[in-house]
Amino acid sequence: MYEMMNLTQEQLRVILLNTRNRVIGIPTVYVGSLNTSVVRLAEVFKPAIVNNAAAVIVCHNHPSGDCSPSPEDVNVTRSLVQTGEMLSIPVLDHIILGRNRFVSLKERQLGFS
């Protein structure tokens, strides 16, 4: 959180987890603009496949500091969860980081069934 909250561009990172939900890597998948990042699902899951991750947590920052989920955030989350189900790599959460705050889309049941 402390590393990403002061970034001036949106970044999307994937926390790769092993079968015990221990972190095995945190690659940056996208670097966007001031307030947007285009997400290609295959690019998000590529590090998980290459590193044989059992599950992932997706996180990205909002440079504005406001970590309120946008409708696009919810739609991307829904697509990520569906893709993860097809690949047998569950998406455990999608976290949005703001200024000293974060939002868990899983906790708010946004994009998760």
Domains and CATH numbers, the chain: 11-100 (3.40.140.10)
- Give the C-alpha separation, 75 to 32, whole Å: 17
- Give the C-alpha separation, 95 to 98, whole Å: 10
- Give the C-alpha separation, 13 to 34, whole Å: 16
Q: Are 70 and 105 in contact (CB under 8 A)?
A: no
DSSP the chain: -TTTTT-SS-EEEEEEE-TTS-EEE--EEEE--SS-----HHHHHHHHHHTT-SEEEEEEE-TTS--PPPHHHHHHHHHHHHHHHHHT--EEEEEEE-SS-EEETTTTTSS--
pLDDT digits (tens, 9 = 90+) for 23-43: 999 999 998 865 555 688 999
* Mean pLDDT per 10-residue segment, the chain (113 residues): 77 96 96 70 96 97 91 94 97 94 96 90
pTM confidence score: 0.91
pLDDT, position 18:
98
Q: Are 14 and 58 in contact (CB under 8 A)?
A: yes
